[in-house]
Amino acid sequence: MTRVLVLDFDGTMTDAEREGEPFIRGYLDDLATLTGAREQAPRARLDAIAAMIDAAMLAAPAEHGYPWNGRLVAPASVDPYLRMVPVANAILDEFKAFEHAVDRARLHQILFRYNYDKTRAHPCFKSGARELLASLAGTETFVVTNSDTEAVRGKIETLDDGTGALAWLFDRVHGYAQKFEVDDTWADGPAELRIPELQRAVLTRRRRYHDRIQGLLDGAGASWKDLTVVGDIFELDLSMPLAKGARVGLVANARTPSYERKFVESLHPQGKLIDDLREIPAFAFAP
Amino acid sequence: MSQADKVILSCALTGAVTTKKHCPAIPYTPVEIAEEAKRAYEAGAAIVHIHARNDDGSPTWSRDTFEAIMRETKARCPVLINWSTGGAGPMSSRIDHLSLRPAVAALNMGSMNYAKWSEAKKSFAFQFVFANSFDDILGFAKAMKEHGAKPEMECFDTGHTNSHQVLESLGLIEKPYHFSFIMGVLGGIPASARHLAFQAEQVPAGSRWKVIGISRDQWPLAMAALALGGDVRVGLEDNFYLPNGEMATSNGALVAEAARLVSLSGRSVASLEETKAILWPNGGGNLS
């Protein structure tokens, strides 16, 4: 039996809050220009909207989801990248800008990518990330991320710092996983799962994400039962693999919804709340 | 990929007002302008918008200078040339160079106060009336038609955009119409996404439009235009700075950044041939 480990990267191996600061700042600056709110007084209004939405998400994460095609597919509060979309929507609504859904989605796409690029130069890794990844050399470990492949590969190269200890991982990064994309026409496995304290269902038919991992499992001659997935957002990173029978590890942070923490803990031994990255190898590769 | 997914990149190479003291990369001489045109073209621009200058950097409407610019530019690259016609001086002095038959010529579509307000000093940094009477607009449009140049209708406000109807009625413009929305000049339409969207809604279906953002507004407005289906103009006439705040060392650097934004938007930069097919679907024009 070959065990396989799939790691998320942003927020899992990095401190997304610190790393995302230029992303948030740049996104808000651009929105300030586009809404005409660049001068001091109106900019304060824009910042107040952002703070209000952020506080509301933090206080009640179950009520604030990240929307995709009209449905909520992840908690919006967990990292700055997800959080920015509802914040930006609230600002654009307030200023009556980009009211057409298609135009707004296009604007989000370009603002998101443009400002995400600003984080590339200053990756902020979690303590122990380098040691963990170096220790996984020789295992069937891959990175599957929603982010740009080259961006994440670049971060790993930065973390490697020319030592070569992480070179084995450079070509094992698979970006644009579209983990948020739910495909109802795909009838493989349950459509949803229920989590206590979360009123809405967690949608699990994330076909493109599934197909990406399936390809890796096929290459390793392994099945979903042989797989461990570790990420920082249960709904996005872990729900589909769990539905397929994989082990799941949640690297929680201060913004992780309590309902996700409790649910993953309740999955023991199939699920684990990971407080320290050093716990990952034993959890992932135990028989 | 459809024509709507293609983005025509234009570059305003030099303008008429700023100098090398403001930005060392601003070209003055015909050779300098042509070299900048080549850099812009190689970075993805299909059209270059050009003002002429004397060797000391002062603006000129000398036909000989424009002729030299065209000759030097064509010797270096096949980019489409767009002559300015706007600025100081009577119309009669700003029209001769159209006989050189550029592919495109800029046509200011209305009058307005044109000013810069200093909030700190509570006074105008400058202010004047930017006068473009209908007599002048029609005179320029007729000259452009006579010489085969496609008018790029420069609109600083919605009334300017609406005035295209007069040119349409007189048969002075041919579809697809070509609009530019200049945003953020005091006296004109504010630089916001809402106003840009409103401008874009005013143009007839099938028209091409682009945004011209001034100074630091340029990049966010370019992103808004890309999301709304528009084209983009960048260049040292409008803005010296890259998004990271560094001063651009060439027009090519600004165009390269615009091309990156196009890629991020999921659309793609229109090549020279694609630009010709978009703006002149039935052929014609000064495209050789």
Average pLDDT value over all residues in chain B: 95
* pLDDT more than 90, % of chain B: 86
Residue segments in chain A with a per-residue pLDDT below the cut of 50: none
Q: Which residues contact A52 (CB under 8 A, 6 or more apart)?
A: A90
Q: Quote the pLDDT of residue B87.
A: 76
CA distance A91 to A86: 9
pLDDT for position B26: 97
Cβ-contact A87, A77 below 8 angstroms: no
Interface contact B193-A106, CB threshold 8 A: no
Query: A110 in contact with B at a CB cutoff of 8 Å?
Result: yes
Strand partners for A140: A4
Cα distances from A71 to residues A65, A75, A180, in angstroms, run 8, 12, 10
Q: Do A98 and B197 touch (CB under 8 A)?
A: yes
Alpha helix stretches (DSSP H) within chain B: 30-43, 63-76, 134-146, 158-162, 164-169, 193-202, 218-228, 251-265, 272-279
pLDDT of B215 strictly over 90: no
A107 at interface of B, judged by CB pairs closer than 8 A? yes
For residue A126, what is the DSSP state?
Answer: P
- Look up residue A110 and give its two tokens: 């370009």
- Taking an 8 Å cut-off on Cβ atoms, the answer to whether B264 and A113 are in contact is yes
| Chain B residues closer than 8 Å to A109 by CB | 227, 264-266
* 3-state SS class at B192: coil
Looking at CA atoms only, how far is residue B191 from chain A in angstroms? 7
| Confidence at residue B216, expressed as pLDDT on a 0 to 100 scale | 79
Report the distance separating Cα A153 and Cα B248, nearest Å.
29
Locate B271 and state its tokens: 């090549």
Is the pLDDT at B18 greater than 80? The verdict is: yes
Which residues in chain A are contacts of B219 at CB distance < 8 A? 30
**What is the per-residue pLDDT for A41?**
66
Query: Which whole number is the average pLDDT over B179-204?
Result: 94
Interface check B186 vs A, CB under 8 A: no
Closest CA relative to residue A238, chosen from A184, A193, A281, A285: A193
Chain B contact present for A122, CB below 8 A: no
CATH topology (fold) of A4-16+122-285: Rossmann fold (3.40.50)
Given CB atoms, is B120 within the 8 Å cutoff of chain A? Answer: no
Q: What count of other Cβ atoms lies within 10 Å of the Cβ of residue A67?
A: 15
Question: Which residues of chain B have a CB within 8 Å of the CB of A110?
Answer: 223, 226-227, 261, 264-266
Does B16 have pLDDT greater than 70?
yes
Residues of chain A contacting residue B264, judged by C-beta atoms under 8 Å apart: 109-110, 113-114, 117
pLDDT, residue B257, reads 97
User: A106, B220: Cβ pair inside 8 Å?
Assistant: no
Q: Does B281 touch chain A (CB under 8 A)?
A: no
Q: What is the ipTM of this complex?
A: 0.85
CA distance A108 to chain B (A): 9
Q: Which residue of chain B has the CA closest to A117?
A: B264
Q: Residues of A with CB below 8 A from B194's CB?
A: 35-36, 95-98
Maximum Cα interatomic distance, chain B, rounded to a whole number of Å: 53
pLDDT digits (tens, 9 = 90+) for B69-92: 999 999 999 999 999 998 777 888
Give the 3-state secondary structure of residue B32: helix
At a CB cut-off of 8 Å and minimum separation 6, what does B191 contact? Answer: A33, A36, B183, B184, B213, B214, B217, B221
Cα B128 from chain centre: 21
Q: Which residue of B has its CA nearest to A113?
A: B264
Stretch 161-180 of chain B: residues touching chain A, C-beta under 8 Å: none
Kindly write down the DSSP assignment for every residue of A27-79, as one continuous string. HHHHHHHHTT--SHHHHHHHHHHHHHHHHHHHH-GGG-EEEETTEEEEESSSS
pLDDT range class, residue B203, cuts 50, 70, 90: very high
Residues B247, B257: contact at Cβ < 8 Å?
no
Q: What is the pLDDT of residues B90-132, one digit of tens each?
A: 888 899 999 999 999 999 999 999 998 888 999 999 999 999 9
Cα–Cα distance measured from residue A238 to residue A250, given in angstroms and rounded to the nearest whole number: 8
Chain B nearest-CA distance from A155, in A, is: 20
Q: Quick one: pLDDT at residue A39? A: 64
Q: Domain coordinates of chain A in residue numbers?
A: 4-16+122-285, 19-120
Quick one: angle between helices A101-116 and B251-265, nearest 10?
120
Q: Which pLDDT value is given to residue A40?
A: 61
d(CA A27, CA A260): 28
Residue-wise pLDDT for A266-276, tens only, equals 999 999 999 99
CA distance B250 to B9: 16
The residues facing B242 across adjacent strands are none
What is the C-alpha separation between A179 and A10, in angstroms, rounded? 13
